[in-house]
Structure 1
Amino acid sequence: MPLHWKLVIDSTNAPALADFWAAALEYEVEDPTPLVEQLLAAGHLPEGAVVEHRGRKTFRGYAAIRHPEDPYDATSGVGHGRRLLFQDVPEPKSAKNRLHLDVHGGPGGLDDLVTRLETLGAIRVREVDKGPAGHWWVMQDPEGNEFCAT
């Protein structure tokens, strides 16, 4: 049986970055509201550890997205499949990523994909054309994390 995994991405504004990547990948932002309310009511979570974002209660400094077709826990909102977790860290991004996502275009092709990602807040960094080996754009998300649009 394969192991469960999630990719964790450092951020300075986890909910906002989760919103960007959910839209970019057509994933869903996880909603931990029922779990947060349960923990608050039981006194297991202080009010200061909670923030509201887009009408949902979530843990301060964290947000996650999941593939819409993957199973998830209804109470916690945590996905049991393809998942990205964003966690706030105090320091800003300082160097090139050692790991990055490749976002593959759909039927409209690369130009449509790049344009859609730019409308969400991504920035084009450079175009790469390796001829028969491939053509893609290196881009940055709203916090400067590099990824490729292919």
Structure 2
Amino acid sequence: MALNWKLVIDSKDAAALADFWAAALEYEVEDPGALIEQLLAAGHLGADAVVEHRGRKIFRGYAAVRHPDDPFDKTSGVGQGRRLLFQDVPEEKSGKNRLHIDVHSAPGDLDGLVARLEGLGATRVREIDKGPAGRWWVMRDPEGNEFCAA
């Protein structure tokens, strides 16, 4: 039986990075507001564990995005399919990522994709051109995590 998974990405500002990746991938930012309200009302969560971001309550130091077509839990907002979870960590990023995301353009629209990603805050690092095998860009998200636009 295949297993469910999520990709967890360390960050300095989980909510901001979730916003970037939601826009980049055309995913939805998860809304844990209903769950947070339940936990606060029951006394299972302290107010210091919650922050407000873009008018919604979120867990301090955590934010996630999910594919808009995948199922999700209506109470928690947690996606049950393709999902990225961002978690704040105290240490700075150091070195090259050992795992990265590839974002694929519509056929023939790599330049449009790269321009859109730059408009969201990504930066180009270098272009890779493999001739007939194709070309792509190595890019960085707003926190410096490498990814490819192909």
Flag structure 1 segments of 5+ consecutive residues without an equivalent: none
Equivalent positions of 1:45-124 (< 5 A) are: 45-107=45-107, 109-124=109-124
> How far has the Cα of 1:107 moved from its partner?
4.7
Deviating above 2 A after TM superposition, structure 1's stretches of 4 or more consecutive aligned residues are none
**One-letter code of the match for 1:55?**
G
Structure 1 distance, partners of 2:100, 2:132, is: 22
> Sequence identity of aligned pairs in percent?
79
| Alignment deviations for residues 122-150 of structure 1 (CA, whole Å, 9 cap, x no partner) | 00000010112220000000000000000
Report what 2:32 is aligned to.
32
Q: Which amino acid aligns with 2:27?
A: Y
- CA distance in structure 2 between the aligned counterparts of 1:35 and 1:139, rounded to whole angstroms: 35
Matched residue of 1:90: which SS? coil
TM-score by length of 1: 0.98
> Could you list the per-position Cα deviations for residues 90-127 of structure 1 after superposition, in whole angstroms to 9, with x for gaps in the alignment?
01111100000000002561000000000000000000
Residues 71-105 of structure 1 deviation map (CA, whole Å, 9 limit, x = unaligned): 00001000000000000000111110000000000
User: Take 1:106 and 1:131, find their aligned partners in 2: how far apart are those partners?
Assistant: 18
Tell me the TM-score normalised to structure 2 length. 0.98
